[in-house]
Chains A and B, each alone.
Chain A
Amino acid sequence: MIRARDLTKHFRVHKRPPGFVSAMKSLVRRKYEVVKAVDGVSFTIERGERVGFLGPNGAGKTTTLKVLAGLLHPTSGEALVEGFTPFRRQTRFLEAITLVMGQKSQLIWDLPPSETYAMNRAVFDVPHDQFKTTLAELTELLDLGPLIDKPTRQLSLGERMKCELAAALLHRPHTLFLDEPTIGLDVAMQLAIRDFVRSYNTRHEATVLLTSHYMDDVVALCPRIIVIDAGKLIHDGDLRGLIKTMDPDKRVSFTLTDGITDDELAKLGTLLARDGKRITLRISESELPEAVGHLLGPLHAADLAIEDPPLEEILRVMFGKSKEARAGEPPP
């Protein structure tokens, strides 16, 4: 279980304007500014949940993950993970969690991943039999096969990420903090990692908190999402609920062989895109049955698909609103 209560993390950063003169000045007198990376965030995640953690760049996602993983001391508030206070970094806490950072590596560069695994086995004091079973399971789930005996520097980005995941999970943690685990990977590899996270979660009833820039990862993996912006929590709930409140209209795409004017289409819904014969409309839920009936009936529409609005779009609107709200606030 993960619990954050009124969690804050402030950084004191040195600030100076560009230019040589200000560089000289800053040697003598420095100006500091307090950045509120995380600003009063509260949530609870139960064991076995998969939660997506979203927010624009610099929203405080990674900082929150680092506080929860015990890498950073919170400025105030309380964090509790698996019953431990993270920043105390007790042995049993560190044995129960893992943090995977898509942009950082723990594999030894010049040696095959198997050497890093041997090292982690010693560090986490994993019994020999358990190590063998876990490695076999991870090898199967991630399709590692020959990769673990190739020097890390010879692996592709995707292959390396799979090996990183295995290194981070050899001690069978119950709580997984995944910070951009699919960054820079191609679609096939993203899918593989996604499947893996889902099956690890089911097999071990592991709690997963995931940040990703790829909304597809989040939509596919996380029934619940937490959204933060400028260090503040702006949404916590199930994904479908968020979509319904923010934008209940559906996206209806179809192909028309007969010509139709934009005006005629406007009677059915808002025209979002028209690319040759492929058309996308935005139609409210109440008008959906009638519009679809008309499309499939008299208009002979083919390849019709009804979808929720893309998560990117919803978030863009959300962050826009949150920014407006901040602009309206008096300065601190």
Chain B
Amino acid sequence: MRRYLRLVTVQFRISAAAGMAYRSDFLLEGVMTIAWAALTLLPLAVLYDGRASVAGWTVESALIVMAYFMAVKAALEGVISPSLIDLVERIRTGAFDYVLLKPVDAQALISASRFEPWKIFDILGAIALAAYAFHRRGLGPPALADVALGMLLFVAGVLAMYSIWIMFAAASFWVVRLDNLTFLIGAIFDTARWPVHVFRGVWRFVFTFIFPIAVMTTFPAMALLGELDSDTALATLGGSALLLVLSRLVWRTAIRSYTSASS
């Protein structure tokens, strides 16, 4: 365990150093982060223009979903995708061999291999947005228990996202070229900015059980708002745990079939 803690610390320091190796990129990324945050809110403003609520969600509650969306997206773009894009690249070039030669769990080593430290600003932005939404709502700050559950479900949501990414990335052990993976996952994940109740019929089913954006943003937001029943909270945690176990199984099968690229 000590070995893993030290490893994560070193990787974080190295990623920060790598990020700053190109100074202009670092500044540009910072500016882009702020611009993206502003753009994210635009569709919401358009949708709620002249409407009091959409699918039972007021604009304030929808802003909480948006805050969760920003935070999960920050985790996705800050740790999950950079690390797993790196994995896909290493499998393609055969440098993944060096990962398997290390005496630590390969999935653990690769899952935290890249960080984009400035994404922390997105998380701060998400917290500010949630605070603004609560202020606008005018019912006072959320109860402490709701904040705790909301944070727990945030972790569950990030793990669900991570599990899905791992399963897609593991496919690159067989398929090798998966250049558009980030775009595909990014595009599907974009729907997570809306409460799941906005979708109907088959889409709601898909976004609750198949690509569970409900688990990633809607349910955590409802928890923070004090509107989530305990059954759904438990199901959310269970669903996320199930995805995690499933992704581990897929990963292990993939490793076994890894035959390593050219010598």
Residue of B nearest to A118 (CB): B10
Segment at the interface with B among A48-56, A68-76, A194-202:
A68-76
Q: List 15 A-B contacts (CB under 8 A).
A: A63-B263, A70-B100, A91-B103, A106-B95, A108-B18, A115-B17, A121-B10, A122-B9, A122-B10, A123-B102, A123-B103, A123-B104, A123-B109, A125-B6, A179-B263
Q: How many residues of B sit at the interface, in one of the four size bands?
A: 20 to 34
Q: Which of A247-281 contact B (CB under 8 A)?
A: none
Give the docked Cα–Cα distance between A69 and B100 (Å): 10
With contact pairs A66-B260, A115-B14 given, residues A104 and B109 touching in the complex (Cβ less than 8 Å): no
Contact A11–B259 (Cβ < 8 Å)? yes
Chain B residues, CB < 8 A from A73 = 256
Report which B residues bind A (CB closer than 8 A).
2-3, 6-7, 9-11, 14, 17-18, 21-22, 93-95, 97-98, 100-104, 109, 256, 259-260, 263
Q: Does A22 belong to the interface (CB within 8 Å)? A: no
Report which A residues bind B (CB closer than 8 A).
11, 62-63, 66, 69-73, 89, 91-92, 94-95, 97-99, 101, 103-106, 108, 110-111, 115, 118-125, 151, 179
| Ranked 10 nearest A-B pairs via Cβ | A62-B263, A94-B103, A106-B98, A91-B103, A122-B10, A122-B6, A122-B7, A110-B21, A125-B3, A123-B102
Contact A72–B259 (Cβ < 8 Å)? yes
Give the docked Cα–Cα distance between A124 and B3 (Å): 8
With contact pairs A108-B18, A111-B17, A115-B17 given, residues A124 and B260 touching in the complex (Cβ less than 8 Å): no
Contact A124–B97 (Cβ < 8 Å)? no
Chain A residues, CB < 8 A from B95 = 104-106
Of B2, B21, B109, the most chain A CB neighbours within 10 A belong to: B21
Chain A residues, CB < 8 A from B21 = 110-111, 151
Give the docked Cα–Cα distance between A123 and B3 (Å): 7
Closest CB-CB distance, B149 to chain A, in whole Å?
Answer: 35
Give the docked Cα–Cα distance between A60 and B177 (Å): 26
With contact pairs A108-B18, A124-B103, A125-B3 given, residues A119 and B10 touching in the complex (Cβ less than 8 Å): yes
Chain B residues, CB < 8 A from A11 = 259
Contact A104–B259 (Cβ < 8 Å)? no
Contact A98–B101 (Cβ < 8 Å)? yes
Chain A residues, CB < 8 A from B98 = 104, 106
Give the docked Cα–Cα distance between A101 and B262 (Å): 11
Closest CB-CB distance, A37 to chain B, in whole Å?
Answer: 10
Give the docked Cα–Cα distance between A123 and B94 (Å): 20
- Choice from B2, B11, B104, B260 contacting A71 with Cβ under 8 Å: B260
Residue of B nearest to A73 (CB): B256
Chain A residues, CB < 8 A from B93 = 104
Give the docked Cα–Cα distance between A79 and B145 (Å): 56
Residue of B nearest to A11 (CB): B259
Of A69, A95, A103, A119, the most chain B CB neighbours within 10 A belong to: A119
Closest CB-CB distance, A53 to chain B, in whole Å?
Answer: 13
Chain B residues, CB < 8 A from A97 = 101
Chain A residues, CB < 8 A from B9 = 122
Chain B residues, CB < 8 A from A72 = 259-260
Give the docked Cα–Cα distance between A101 and B101 (Å): 12
- Choice from B11, B17, B102 contacting A124 with Cβ under 8 Å: B102
Give the docked Cα–Cα distance between A205 and B112 (Å): 36
Closest CB-CB distance, A170 to chain B, in whole Å?
Answer: 12
- Choice from B2, B14, B22 contacting A119 with Cβ under 8 Å: B14
Chain A residues, CB < 8 A from B103 = 91-92, 94-95, 123-125
Chain B residues, CB < 8 A from A89 = 100
Closest CB-CB distance, A201 to chain B, in whole Å?
Answer: 20
Of B2, B7, B22, the most chain A CB neighbours within 10 A belong to: B7
Chain B residues, CB < 8 A from A115 = 14, 17
Closest CB-CB distance, A15 to chain B, in whole Å?
Answer: 16
Contact B256–A122 (Cβ < 8 Å)? no
Contact B100–A71 (Cβ < 8 Å)? yes
Give the docked Cα–Cα distance between A97 and B94 (Å): 19
With contact pairs A94-B102, A99-B97 given, residues A110 and B256 touching in the complex (Cβ less than 8 Å): no
